[in-house]
Structure 1
Amino acid sequence: MNFSLSSALCLAILCGSSAIHAQTNMKPSDTEYYKPVPPTVTLNKGIPSDAIVLFDGKDLSKWKSEKGNANWTVANNTLEVKPGTGNIETTEHFGDFQLHIEWKSPELIKGEGQGRGNSGIFLQGLYEIQVLDNNNNPTYVNGGAGSLYKQRPPLAQVIVTDKWHVYDIIYKAPQFNKDSLLISKGTVTVLHNGVLVQNNTQIDGTTEYIGLPKQVSHGPGPIILQDHGDLVQFRNIWLRKL
């Protein structure tokens, strides 16, 4: 072993010994801090106190359509697609968020594949998390319930019979520079009735029906619920800005 290598080895041993010595002399309080204190969030009927309630079962005051007022059907604390009236979207626009939304396929089963119980939840109006009756209803896997439409299939198919589906979505928006060039892609995590189906999934761009994803520079955007012609129901929709 030459001198320089030997010296380096000795130095490494001494540094390691010093680090171990420093660790043994540390007190528990040396690695504890008390500020800043995280904000307090309380729950009222399962809804966080800092959440924006987008649909409380009563009205569509926080939604609109392309033509003006949202006129989907509201009854029995649920919101139902009114086929032919078009999509509805939140009047407020959002960046990063946590979204809770519950949905239910039509009671009357008809059609197959993409033609059965189809709707969608568009994040910032551009990126669709698919809503679809997935009970004994084969279709392309990147278009099933819980998929990032036409991009990523769900990690598992969660079948819910005679009950409401629940999506809890954590969304981080893509970032663009002042020249509208992409800095970082968006990501989405989705739990489907408590089962992880999208795990920090990278969003490649807009979720196109035909063709490849497109990168569109944008800022905050709305939550859009899709009118695909099926009587899909929604309830208990709330969002927390992140």
Structure 2
Amino acid sequence: MIRIAVLLSLLAAPALAKEYLTGKQWQEPTIITPGETCGAAPSDAVVLFGGEDLSAWNGAERWSVKDGDMVVGKGKIYTKQEFGDCQLHIEWSAPTPPKGKSQGRGNSGVFFVSPPGKNGFEMQVLDSYDNKTYFDGQAASIYKQTPPMANAMRPPGEWNVYDIAWTAPTFDDAGKLKSPAAITALHNGVLVLNHFELLGDTPFDRPPTYEGYTSRGPIGLQDHGNPIRFRNIWVREIKAPVGEQVREPWLR
């Protein structure tokens, strides 16, 4: 009886599953140290503003630092360093008490690939708390292209957080577009853009275009006449995992 029980248990046991192997030999992922608190810069980040000075930016002579915050002044500023695919963390606060309405209230913008003389690709900064405007121009929109999937604004005077994954456009040797820019973004921890592919740059007064752009460029912040404050700005270059195909995929 014992032998029959053992045989029955073996027949009932599931067959050992096969394992799929990619045949790739991967490099070990880079070890980094996360920030000690939520939103703090990790060890491999480039800090663009840490509360002390504006040395990472061009054109910031007429902007200021007050109480550890960057305060919008006159003229657009842009980073001295250029970036392609990247992760950007930036925090901003609209003026309180609020003044103005629609696009005239707490307006600025975060621009990718935005050198002098080029519009760039804008994710809108705007006080959209109890402030109606056109939907593709409110906070966390891609300006004139898509609204965010939700309005996650905090009240004026409180801090908003953008965490953005930017995929830069790519071009062939003749400058023709190969793949469009794409953006995924969280606003105060809420997913508001999910790999949205941009139609081109984001001007106010003409259709979007990729003409004249490259895959890398500075990050810009806009002066729209409102004293927006920024803090804790950092960026990481995005690099794909590295591996080499050493044999065909197989099951073992």
- Please tell me the TM-score bracket, short chain as reference: 0.7 to 0.9
1:98 has 2:87 as partner: yes
After TM superposition, the score normalised by the length of structure 2 is 0.80
Q: Distance in 2 between matches of 1:111 and 1:26?
A: 65
Task: Give the number of aligned pairs.
Answer: 215
Shift of 1:48: 0.9
Residue of 77, 96, 99 corresponding to 1:107:
96
Shift of 1:211: 2.0
* Alignment gaps of 5+ in structure 1: 1-23
Residue of 133, 137, 160 corresponding to 2:131:
137
Residue of 212, 221, 226 corresponding to 1:230:
226
Is the Cα–Cα contact under 8 Å of residues 48 and 234 in structure 2 kept in the other structure? yes
Residue of 119, 122, 127 corresponding to 2:121:
127
Is the Cα–Cα contact under 8 Å of residues 139 and 153 in structure 2 kept in the other structure? no
1:87-113 deviations in whole A, cap 9, x for unaligned?
Answer: 111001111100000000012311100
- Alignment-derived partner of residue 189 in structure 2: 194
Shift of 1:77: 1.3
The CA RMSD over aligned residues, in Å, is 2.0
1:40 has 2:31 as partner: yes
Shift of 1:210: 1.2
- Alignment-derived partner of residue 12 in structure 1: none
Report the AA paired with residue 124 of structure 2: Q
More helix as a share of residues: 1
Report the AA paired with residue 237 of structure 1: I
Shift of 1:169: 0.5
Shift of 1:28: 5.7
Is the Cα–Cα contact under 8 Å of residues 122 and 128 in structure 1 kept in the other structure? yes
Report the AA paired with residue 67 of structure 2: N
1:193-228 deviations in whole A, cap 9, x for unaligned?
Answer: 110111000011010101210122323111100000
Determine which structure has greater relative contact order: mean sequence separation of CA pairs < 8 Å that are 6+ residues apart, divided by chain length: 2
Q: Distance in 1 between matches of 2:57 and 2:61?
A: 6
After TM superposition, the score normalised by the length of structure 1 is 0.83
Q: Which moved more, 1:165-174 or 1:40-49?
A: 40-49
Q: Distance in 2 between matches of 1:29 and 1:123?
A: 40
Shift of 1:71: 3.0
